[in-house]
């Protein structure tokens, strides 16, 4: 029998593959479609998902506050006490009794890498008494260290934290039982690019990552919802073993390809989330004056004066980031004709007002962990992208609180002696004062009557030469980083002599001194 040519189309590739045979046709019995083993990353339980997890692992844990936290997986680790000695990397450690706070209480964590201690008293106590090590890291730097590790980049340079204890190696990593410092951080390399100083930070590499997703399919494709994206995307791409707990497990194709936030190549295992969502701080919409406590006492009147003046800083078309507390109330006093896009560093551009009672959404919180809404046209994204736009100077204005400000514009707002809250995103927000105007809102003196505007800050710095304007209950100062302070506005009933008596820093008085409101 003469040889026969057979053209066989095999569905292995997007383009056809043709095979020619010179053997007799009777011996060829190919199927035109090759069967492949189905990819299925779904496992039946959290217990099965972490069955091979070892002690002393490095664990990335997504979430911000209680938003987007993989509670099902965390709870399973707590129920598996031999998994201890963990180095946990997360923005914060939840709260007492929830999130990573559970693993702190069970003593399964030996080290935290985080940006914020916050209101977690157990976290603060364990750190200050030497029970755990804490590598406190600026929030944007933390997000980028996780992103870089997953992208094969061993280190990078950032403007955040230059001139602070993070850069100089004076950050306490571990305390002794009596509260004295047992170990300090190492100084970081600094290089100058285009005339500006940058700090070198090394990438984080992790063994495990626990991720919370809104939707996942058996291929491992993920979709997040609202502000729950936060650190989850960057961390999912980093670890050797990424485990995802999803609210909804769907069939491949049910997540639109353009809506896949993390492709399945990064994900090893998927489980069904079984824990409900929690809200750390329920805040509802109210009249701005009522929010300030206006008319109730002198302190409320001072706050209202500061907030009303801060509202004048907004200009039409601005992109602005607001710190927690008084700055968050300033937009309520902005003229309706002025349109400003508010950015929240946990991954929102187009921040709306607080929700009406009963309309809270656990996936929509601001940087203060408070419930919020989205304005029409808002966008949501991960923390790594959020801080990219911040460091790059895309934010026109940031308004922050302060513990102290120096006459050269240095800012201290993250730590008081014996207490620690953490950096949060402040070090990143003040890292590009050439493009982002930094405005401080603060009462002129502290609760003991001591000046908060100093010749030099006594508390650890958030940033050097970064504050452009200071708004207090008494007055407004403009700041020149080389020449110092100029008094440009003064409150009704306040004299220049009173301002001098309550200000440690020296200042000039503008020739055209104006009323504050």
Task: State the DSSP H helix or E strand holding residue 480, giving kind and residue range, or none if neither.
Answer: strand 475-480
Burial status of residue 18 (CB atoms within 10 A of its CB: 0-12, 13-18, 19 or more): exposed
pLDDT for residue 290: 62
- Judge if 46-154+203-272 and 288-515 fold alike in CATH terms: yes
- What is the per-residue pLDDT across 487-499, written as a single tens digit (0 to 9) for each? 999 999 999 999 9
b/e code 298-328 from CB counts within 10 Å (16+ = b)? eebebbbbbbbbbbbbbeeebbbbbbeebbb
Q: What is the CA radius of gyration of the chain?
A: 27
Share of the chain above pLDDT 90, in %: 86
Q: What angle do CA 93, 95, 98 make, to 5 degrees?
A: 95
Q: Evaluate if residue 20 carries a pLDDT over 50.
A: no
- What is the per-residue pLDDT across 83-106, written as a single tens digit (0 to 9) for each? 999 999 999 999 999 999 999 999
* Contact status, residue 349 vs residue 318, Cβ threshold 8 Å: no
pLDDT for residue 297: 81
Active site residue 345: yes
Q: Where are the domains of the chain?
A: 46-154+203-272, 288-515
d(CA 329, CA 333): 8
Q: Evaluate if residue 26 carries a pLDDT over 90.
A: no
pLDDT for residue 416: 83
| pTM for this prediction | 0.90
Q: Evaluate if residue 14 carries a pLDDT over 80.
A: no
Q: Evaluate if residue 35 carries a pLDDT over 60.
A: no
Mean pLDDT of 306-313: 96
Q: Which of 124, 133, 245, 345 is catalytic?
A: 345
CB neighbours (10 Å) of residue 119?
A: 15
pLDDT for residue 417: 79
More confident residue, 297 or 229: 229
CB neighbours (10 Å) of residue 107?
A: 13
* Contact status, residue 140 vs residue 425, Cβ threshold 8 Å: yes
| Nearest CA among 138, 229, 162, 14 for reference residue 414 | 138
CATH assignment of 46-154+203-272, among 3.40.190.170, 3.40.1080.10, 3.20.20.540, 3.40.50.11810: 3.40.1080.10
3-state secondary structure of 150: helix
b/e code 33-72 from CB counts within 10 Å (16+ = b)? eeeeeeeebbbeebeebbeebeeebbbbbbbbbbbbbbbb
Q: Evaluate if residue 30 carries a pLDDT over 50.
A: no
* Contact status, residue 176 vs residue 139, Cβ threshold 8 Å: no
Mean pLDDT of 266-271: 98
- What is the per-residue pLDDT across 452-488, written as a single tens digit (0 to 9) for each? 999 999 999 999 999 999 999 999 999 999 999 999 9
CATH assignment of 288-515, among 3.30.1330.10, 1.20.58.100, 3.40.1080.10, 3.40.980.10: 3.40.1080.10
d(CA 303, CA 326): 7
Q: What angle do CA 445, 466, 338 make, to 5 degrees?
A: 85
Q: Evaluate if residue 510 carries a pLDDT over 70.
A: yes
Q: Evaluate if residue 28 carries a pLDDT over 70.
A: no
């Amino acid at each position: 029998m003469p040889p026969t040519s057979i053209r066989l189309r095999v569905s292995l590739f997007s383009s056809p593959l043709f095979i020619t045979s010179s053997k007799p046709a009777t011996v060829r019995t190919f199927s035109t479609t090759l069967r492949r083993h189905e990819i299925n990353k779904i496992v039946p339980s959290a217990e099965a998902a972490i069955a091979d997890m070892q002690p002393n692992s490095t664990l990335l844990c997504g979430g911000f506050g209680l938003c987007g936290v993989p509670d099902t997986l965390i709870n399973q680790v707590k129920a598996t006490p031999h998994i201890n000695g963990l180095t946990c990397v997360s923005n914060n450690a939840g709260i007492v009794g929830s999130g990573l706070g559970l693993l702190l209480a069970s003593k399964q964590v030996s080290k935290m890498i985080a940006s914020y201690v916050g209101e977690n008293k157990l976290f603060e106590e364990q750190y200050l008494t030497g029970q755990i090590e804490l590598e406190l890291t600026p929030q944007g730097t933390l997000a980028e260290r996780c992103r870089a590790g997953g992208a094969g980049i061993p280190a990078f340079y950032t403007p955040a934290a230059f001139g602070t204890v993070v850069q100089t190696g004076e950050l306490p990593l571990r305390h002794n039982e009596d509260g004295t410092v047992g170990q300090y951080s190492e100084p970081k390399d600094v290089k100058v690019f285009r005339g500006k100083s940058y700090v070198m930070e090394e990438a984080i590499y992790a063994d495990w990552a626990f991720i919370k997703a809104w939707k996942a399919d058996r291929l491992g494709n993920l979709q997040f919802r609202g502000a729950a994206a936060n650190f989850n995307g960057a961390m999912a791409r980093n670890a050797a073993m990424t485990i995802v707990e999803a609210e909804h497990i769907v069939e491949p194709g049910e997540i639109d390809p353009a809506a896949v936030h993390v492709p399945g190549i990064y994900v090893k295992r998927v489980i069904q989330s079984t824990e409900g969502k929690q809200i750390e701080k329920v805040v509802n919409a109210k009249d701005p004056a009522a929010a300030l406590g206006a008319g109730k006492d002198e302190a409320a009147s001072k706050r209202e004066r500061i907030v009303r003046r801060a509202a004048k800083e907004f200009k039409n078309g601005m992109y602005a980031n607001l710190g927690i507390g008084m700055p968050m109330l300033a937009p309520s006093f902005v003229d309706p004709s002025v349109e400003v896009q508010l950015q929240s560093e946990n991954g929102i551009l187009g921040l709306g007002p607080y929700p009406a009672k009963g309309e809270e959404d656990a996936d929509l919180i601001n940087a203060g962990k408070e419930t919020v809404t989205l304005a029409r046209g808002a966008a949501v994204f991960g923390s790594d992208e959020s801080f990219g736009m911040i460091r790059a100077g895309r934010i026109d204005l940031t308004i922050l609180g302060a513990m102290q400000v120096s006459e050269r514009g240095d800012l201290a707002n993250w730590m008081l002696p014996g207490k620690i809250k953490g950096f949060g995103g402040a070090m990143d927000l003040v890292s590009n004062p050439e493009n982002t105007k930094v405005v401080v809102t603060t009462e002129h003196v502290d609760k003991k009557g001591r000046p908060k505007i100093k010749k030099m800050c006594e508390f650890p710095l958030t940033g050097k030469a970064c504050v452009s304007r200071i708004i207090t209950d008494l007055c407004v100062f403009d700041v020149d980083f080389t020449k110092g302070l100029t008094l440009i506005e003064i409150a009704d009933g306040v004299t220049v002599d009173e301002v001098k008596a309550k200000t440690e820093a020296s200042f000039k008085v503008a020739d055209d001194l104006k009323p504050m409101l």
